[in-house]
Structure 1
Amino acid sequence: MAIQWNLADLFEAVSDAVPERTALICGDYRSTFAALDERATRLANHLASQGIGRGDHIGLYVYNGPEYVEGTFAAYKLGAVPINVNYRYVEGELAYLFDNADLKGLVFGREFAPRIANIVKDAPKLKVFVAVNDGTDEDISVIGATEYEAALAAASAVRAFEPRSEEDLYILYTGGTTGMPKGVMWTQRDFFLSTIGPLLSLGQAAPDEPAEFVTRAIENGGTSVSMPIAPLMHGAALWAALMAIFGGNTVVLTSQRKLDPHEIWRTVEREKVMSVSLVGDAMARPLIEALDEAGAEYDLSSLFVIGSGGAILSPAVKAKIVERFPNMLVIDSLGASETGYQGTVAGTDGQGRPRFAMGA
């Protein structure tokens, strides 16, 4: 069957082409492409057995970890739509999002069970719950949830899904900085070709056909280790993770609940991370400042790219990055959830200000 501009099609094609490459690292956890695909397939089959199907919306209410990535691809395999849920939301915001997003299923961290129980009555369509073990002992029976690993163990690993389409949806809920969160809707074709594709094609012409991306993943992938630092519930981090996976490369995640600069640098050193993606000054500044602290000695020789998107990377902070890493490639992206990437800094105007090359 021909590959479409469909995120599940592309993921499965890459996984079949490079099954033994490392796809995902999170702490001591390591997963090959084959294992990641199998677990996503099992989750998809469990959700299907509970009545989740094409066009249904599945919330992902978990911290960074394998389950977020597995849940994303499980939804796409079904022709369903994963919905990012901000784990910092209070009950009122969650109730609004669950209703506005028409959630039918929810993959959630166990610690959030009491919060969900308090608002589930306000989300009448939400019927299917899968609880990820996060070390807490919250009661998940009150909402009829199935434990995540038990669900996967009992489900089939066979891909037997309905045909999918390039018109299947990708939806990203914004942070709601000017009001309540809003869902940005893309077709998967438009999303891939406006966000993932352009960055995978930097320095070369973008392929005309989906199969060409898979060929590039086979030929050029397996050489890069990328680390998105922000929570995957934000587009900046998820897009970076997807770009690595669709390129046949490795994604490194940390399960930290808040930014710990020293843990980030320890992970870069341990996993020989080559590119880090972050969100503007709020992340870049403490990371650079941590390197100036007494005793902060890390082997960061593997790192050669720092990318920023989703917020301002100021000239002052950018200068600190370059001062610390003189040979670093700093990618400063311009875009939005509604538009995808619109450009990257190609140089300066001679006074240190970014100069963008826009359009064709």
Structure 2
Amino acid sequence: MTCFRLVQEFLEKSADRIPEKVALVCGDERLTYAEIEDRANRIANGLRFNGIQRGDRVALFMQNSVELVIGIFAILKCDAVFVVINATTKTDKLVYILNNCGVSALVVSPHQKIPIEEMRASCPSIKFFVVIAKEGELLDQPTTEPTTACFSWEQFLKTYPPTRLPARNIDLDLACLIYTSGSTGEPKGVMSDHSNIIFAVNSITSYIGNTEDDVVINVLPLSFDYGLYQLLMVFSFGGRLVLEKGFSFPAQILNLIEKEKVTGFPGVPTIFSMLVNMDLDDYDLSSLRYMTNTAAALPPAHILKIRDTFPHVRLYSMYGLTETKRTLYLPPSYLDTKPDSVGIAIPGTEVWIEDERGNRLGAGEVGELVVRGRHVMRGYWGDEELTAQRFRPGRIPGERLCYTGDLFKMDEEGFFYFVARKDDVIKSRGEKVSPKEVENVLYKIEGVHEVAVIGVEDALLGQAIKAFIVKNNSSLTETDVLRFCRNHLEDFMIPKIVQFVDELPKTSSGKIKKTELR
């Protein structure tokens, strides 16, 4: 395994070793490692010349693109910290993030149509903008002399040399801030240092068994850590990344898998739900070697359908959170016997379950999952109070543990099972109900496409269980659903309310937003 000290070395060492290999396929563009290295060096020199210093935060606000990939590595090369902001972020939230971490420069696509003048006034820390446009096509240029410079991407590529800047950072320096979705409040910037990322990349690629021959397709935004790590992992082992803007047109993605001979397909439950309900006979997907799932646990019913549909593919069911990147994975050999488990600790880490008094719990007991390892991130940018709540001292002085806020249980063999978010547990009739347990049963009903279960206030029950269902069978009725539940759930777990909806609200990473359902 190649030894890495800093994250930009994922690109640099691959460019030195296999310069002419195609590293990135994005739309009509196919770039080699040498071409990406050349452009990243030019952009890095442009950033440095215009004042970006070690430790400065530089934000990238755009869709998945060649420029986004190059920008990430360019920022790292000038010892700065990259912040990828989802392209769908609204102006108020964008301004909040930029000010929260004191961004020094903003790289933006003209497709975002952001008001540059408003940004100048609202974000005083920004020294300059870099717009992915040709000279003379910059965004919203003022008629008066601007107080903040605005450069074009092409101008940087033409003006600055392709020489590699000497690195001054060490592995304890920050590499990036990844902002969480903020569904329960303002977005939080998770601080990831170089060693956090390198450890996670090495651990994940070791259990997946990645090689230089792997071709990985990524339809997830690079602002989402699951999507970002596909790029970082592929460049670390010298593979090829097929980068797409999303999964809105499944047939197009399936054709691309066939054309590019894709071997790795990372997805989330919403993507796999679409796949298992499609007719795949017209596509040659024989090149696929593995699939991975995280963001939310796959329902066991979907896992079994995927196994039946792709018998030649190794499916990795996984669990993680931005604060630790990846935490658990289920070895594919256990899918048949433990389809509802998200597995064991990733290589080189340790996990356990604690009660509210800090006691470790044994098999069958429900408590909070605690994570120990080099992948535990540094905390939340600028928020010591929240950092102290989530990242707590370990038994070794100076060590940080991550308290996930998720309830789990463990079986006798040490495999872990997600129960619920601590704040999602429904208390009905005096009993605690895991929404996930009810959802898993509902997914077994023929005609159910997607499900979300929440608790709603009820004068008699305390909380009543409400199920939102997206169906793909128009004949399915509430009576059918409740009959099935009565046969498969305890009385206190049967939904009181069943509501059929056309779709469920989701975050940009594909997670169902239960806060909006409430």
Q: TM-score range by the shorter chain?
A: 0.7 to 0.9
Structure 2 counterparts to residues 1-360 of structure 1, below 5 A = 5-133=5-133, 139-142=139-142, 144-170=149-175, 171-193=177-199, 195-202=200-207, 221-256=211-246, 259-279=248-268, 281-291=269-279, 297-346=282-331, 347-348=334-335, 350=337, 352-354=339-341, 356-358=343-345, 359=349
Moved more, 24-33 or 346-355: 346-355
Q: Which deviates the most, 163-172 or 57-66? A: 163-172
Do the aligned partners of residues 138 and 151 (structure 1) sit closer, same or farther apart at CA in structure 2, a change above 3 Å counting? closer
Per-residue CA distance 1:196-240 (angstroms, 9 max, x = gap):
110122278xxxxxxxxxxxxxxx843110012111111001111
Tell me the CA shift for residue 191 of structure 1.
2.3
Query: 1:110 touches 1:140 (CA, 8 Å); kept in 2?
Result: no
User: What SS class does the counterpart of residue 326 from structure 2 fall into?
Assistant: strand
Distance 1:282 1:83 in 2: 26
Greater relative contact order (Cα 8 A, min sep 6): structure 1 or 2?
1
Report which of the two structures shows the higher radius of gyration computed on alpha carbons.
2
What letter matches 1:353 in structure 2?
A: D
Cα distance between partner residues in 1 of 2:12 and 2:215? 20
Structure with a larger share of its residues in helix: 1
Opposite residue 352 of structure 1, the aligned amino acid is P
Closer/same/farther in 2, CA of residues 148 and 289 from structure 1, 3 Å limit: farther
C-alpha displacement of 1:5: 2.1
- Give me the whole-angstrom Cα distance separating, in 1, the residues matched to 2:62 and 2:11: 21
2:431 is aligned to none
Query: Against the structure 1 CA distance between its residues 253 and 349, is the aligned structure 2 distance closer, same or farther, given a 3 Å change threshold?
Result: closer
Letter in structure 2 aligned against 1:82: F
TM-score of the two chains, using structure 2 as the length reference = 0.61
Gaps of 5+ in 1: 205-219
**Following TM superposition, by how much is the alpha carbon of 1:322 offset from its aligned partner in structure 2, in angstroms?**
1.5
Which digits, 9 at most, give the CA deviation of each residue in 1:219-278, with x for residues without a partner?
Answer: x8431100121111110011112101101110001245x622111111111111111112
Aligned residue number for residue 213 of structure 1 = none
How far apart in 2 are the matches of 1:4 and 1:345? Answer: 27
* C-alpha displacement of 1:30: 0.7
Q: Distance in 1 between matches of 2:212 and 2:95?
A: 42
Cα pair distance change 1:320/1:111, threshold 3 Å: same
1:145-197 CA-partner distances (Å, limit 9, x unpaired):
2221222121110113342311221321111121111111122112211x211
Q: Decide whether the 8 Å contact of 2:131 with 2:138 is kept in 1.
A: no
Distance in 2, Cα, partners of 1:196 & 1:266? 28
User: 1-side partners of 2:43 and 2:67: how far apart?
Assistant: 10
8 A Cα contact 1:103 1:125, kept in partner: yes
CA distance in structure 1 between the partners assigned to 2:304 and 2:120 by the alignment: 48
Displacement of 1:3 in angstroms is 6.7
Q: For this pair of structures, how many residues does the alignment match?
A: 336
Q: Aligned partners of 1:133, 1:284: CA distance in 2, in Å?
A: 36
TM-score by length of 1: 0.86
Letter in 1 for 2:262: V
Q: Flag the 1:173–1:63 CA change in 2: closer, same or farther, 3 A.
A: same
How far did 1:24 drift? 0.6
Higher strand share: 2
Deviations 1:263-314, CA, capped at 9 Å, x for gaps: 11111111111111122x122212333335xxx6111111121111222222
Q: Distance in 2 between matches of 1:41 and 1:3?
A: 21
Q: What SS does the aligned partner of 2:327 have?
A: strand
1:95, 1:120 within 8 Å by CA — same for their partners in 2? no
Whole-Å separation in 2 of the counterparts to 1:354 and 1:3: 32
Residues 197, 316 of structure 1: CA spacing in aligned structure 2 closer, same or farther, 3 A cutoff? same
What is the SS of the residue equivalent to 2:337?
A: coil
Measure how far apart 1:123 and its partner are: 0.7
Which runs of no fewer than 5 residues in structure 2 stay unpaired?
Answer: 143-147, 351-518
Q: C-alpha separation between the residues in 2 aligned to 1:121 and 1:290?
A: 49
